[in-house]
């Protein structure tokens, strides 16, 4: 089953990208290539980025979601890669300003991808 951000995204993509299974990702590493090769999928994801809530530690707090959306949009468009997006999130939405700054999950992810 393709990786999707939410059930809302699943229903949106089902209605806009039926029959484009080859343009979906089967695992995490295929998400960005799938977006770059499937403009219908890319457009649907961009709408979701702009309009849907994104609950999560990185987005909780004043202006954090507003700073996160453009980074995710640039990643979706292929203007930046995963590592650049990760670095921008660390820079523009620093861990020290999060209510969850003591959580080690971010540190573990950084070790895994970095």
Q: Write the pLDDT tens digit of every residue in 36-95.
A: 999 999 999 999 999 999 888 778 888 999 999 999 999 999 999 999 999 999 999 988
Higher pLDDT, 30 or 104: 30
Q: What per-residue confidence (pLDDT) applies to 15? A: 43
Q: What per-residue confidence (pLDDT) applies to 24? A: 75
Q: Is the pTM of this model over 0.75?
A: no
Alpha helix positions (H), the chain: 7-16, 31-37, 39-51, 64-77, 82-92, 105-113
Determine the Cα–Cα distance for residues 35 and 58; give it in Å rounded to an integer.
23
Taking Cα atoms as reference points, which of 41, 61, 57 lies closest to residue 49?
Answer: 41
Contact 6, 52 (CB under 8 A): yes
Query: Is pLDDT above 90 for 35?
Result: yes
């Amino acid at each position: 089953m393709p990786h999707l951000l939410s059930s809302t995204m699943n229903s949106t993509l089902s209605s806009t990208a039926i029959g484009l299974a080859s343009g979906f990702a089967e695992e995490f590493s295929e998400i960005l290539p799938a977006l770059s090769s499937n403009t219908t999928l890319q457009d649907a994801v961009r709408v979701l980025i702009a309009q849907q809530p994104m609950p999560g530690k990185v987005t909780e707090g004043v202006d954090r979601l507003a700073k996160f959306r453009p980074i995710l949009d640039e990643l979706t468009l292929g203007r930046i890669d995963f590592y650049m997006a990760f670095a921008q999130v660390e820079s523009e939405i620093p861990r020290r300003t999060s209510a969850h700054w003591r959580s080690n999950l971010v540190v573990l992810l950084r070790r895994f991808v970095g």
